[in-house]
Structure 1
Amino acid sequence: MRQNPERRTALIDAAIEVLAAQGARGLTFRAVDQQAGVPIGTASNYFASRDALLVQAGERVFEKLDPNTAPMPADLPRTRESVDRAMHAMVERITAYPSGYLAVLELRLESTRRPELREVLTGQIRGHFQKDLDLHRKAGLPGDEQAMTLLYLALAGLIVERLTLPDFLGPETVDPLITALVERVVPGD
């Protein structure tokens, strides 16, 4: 059967939305077909198994979460304030696509039981983190790899709180927390 690449992408995007809304247990071919608005049975024609769909969703979600990878402006001030602005922008970008990050959380949990999915997610996250480190270094911003790792881990937790328990930390506390974190982790100018 000849397959349409645009339809495949639409089905994978629908799978991401199903993961976010219903969790990994709710990810069925029927649920994906319904989310994508295609005839029942379409997803099973495109994916050999549910595992194959999970793996492809794990690859695609990072494409959608990844920012434009243009180099940082040459005239960017090499200051802690620039790092602060970048961290605020990252949290805002990720939380603007909540279903994507919620799907990532579901995929992470599912990867504890599926080695192939774990390998895909590990590669995706490691690759994106390395790209961020490289951009940071090329821009000459303050903070070494350990500082960037600490920011990554802390902000990942903050994003989980913001998306899963929005009433725990009110929206008014998020920006000051990001700034305080950067001030404590990144060396001063």
Structure 2
Amino acid sequence: MAKNDARRGELGDHAVAVLAREGARGLTHRAIDRAAEVPTGTTSNYFPDREAIIAAILERIGIRLAPSNSEEAGIGEAGRAGFASYMNALVGRLTSDRDAAIALFELRLEATRRPAVHDALAHWARSGLDADVAFHRQQGLPGDREHVVLFHYAITGLILDQLTVPIDPATEVSTTIARLVDGLLPER
């Protein structure tokens, strides 16, 4: 297996784009080679099988959708307003990297058909949830693990809505998030 980490990352990013654009059926070594404009067979040198491609996609999505230090530092306050600010930044991040967000939805759908994808995605998602809960506690944000889980459910639906066909395009995302925060978080 090839060791060029920069090339590996580039191919992983192209795999994300192929998955977002073509769906799981279109995700092949050749499709990634074409998207990356590299010689046929290059992708298979880095990712010998589909499981390795999926692992690379999850790694790249995690990197691309991770919060920046300034975003985490920008919470400013520990109450509902700080939580709403962070949720707005999260939704902005997810909707601005459409390929990564759509690829993640594609993987969720593929997980219903392929146990290997299910297992890889479940591990990745649950590790991410644990990190989110730890961050939530570290920042002193209101609520507990159950509230973070509820926000994951709500934000996942909101992102899907924003990336596809918004059911209420007249309502600002920040307004929706403010309503979610008011409805889901306990009073302090």
Instruction: Provide TM-score, normalisation by structure 1.
Output: 0.89
Contact 1:76 1:139 in 2 (8 A): no
Which shows bigger deviation, 143-152 or 30-39?
A: 143-152
1:11-30 alignment to 2 at 5 Å?
A: 11-30=11-30
1:2-41 alignment to 2 at 5 Å?
A: 2-41=2-41
Compute the displacement of 1:51 (Å). 3.2
Distance in 2 separating the partners of 1:74 and 1:97: 20
Compute the displacement of 1:50 (Å). 2.6
Contact 1:59 1:120 in 2 (8 A): no
Contact 2:71 2:86 in 1 (8 A): no
Where does residue 174 of structure 1 map in the other structure?
A: 173
Where does residue 187 of structure 1 map in the other structure?
A: 186
Distance in 2 separating the partners of 1:170 and 1:144: 31
Where does residue 149 of structure 1 map in the other structure?
A: 149
- Identical counterparts, % of pairs: 39
Which shows bigger deviation, 10-19 or 59-68?
A: 59-68
Distance in 1 separating the partners of 2:71 and 2:23: 35
Where does residue 64 of structure 1 map in the other structure?
A: 64
Where does residue 80 of structure 2 map in the other structure?
A: 80
Q: Which runs of 5+ in 1 are unaligned?
A: none
1:46-125 alignment to 2 at 5 Å?
A: 46-68=46-68, 72-73=72-73, 76-125=76-125
Distance in 2 separating the partners of 1:69 and 1:131: 15
Query: CA offsets per residue over residues 35-78 of structure 1, 9 Å max, x none?
Result: 11111221122222233212321232122111136895599322
- Which has the higher relative contact order, 1 or 2, with Cα contacts under 8 A spaced 6 or more apart? 1
Which shows bigger deviation, 121-130 or 14-23?
A: 121-130
Q: Which runs of 5+ in 2 are unaligned?
A: none
Query: CA offsets per residue over residues 151-172 of structure 1, 9 Å max, x none?
Result: 1111110000100214x33164
Secondary structure, in 3 states, of the residue corresponding to 1:169?
A: coil
Instruction: Provide TM-score, normalisation by structure 2.
Output: 0.89
Distance in 1 separating the partners of 2:88 and 2:71: 18
Structure 1 residues 146 and 116, CA gap change in structure 2 (3 angstroms): same
User: Once superposed, what is the RMSD of the aligned Cα atoms?
Assistant: 2.2
Query: CA offsets per residue over residues 123-166 of structure 1, 9 Å max, x none?
Result: 21111111111111122121122222111111110000100214
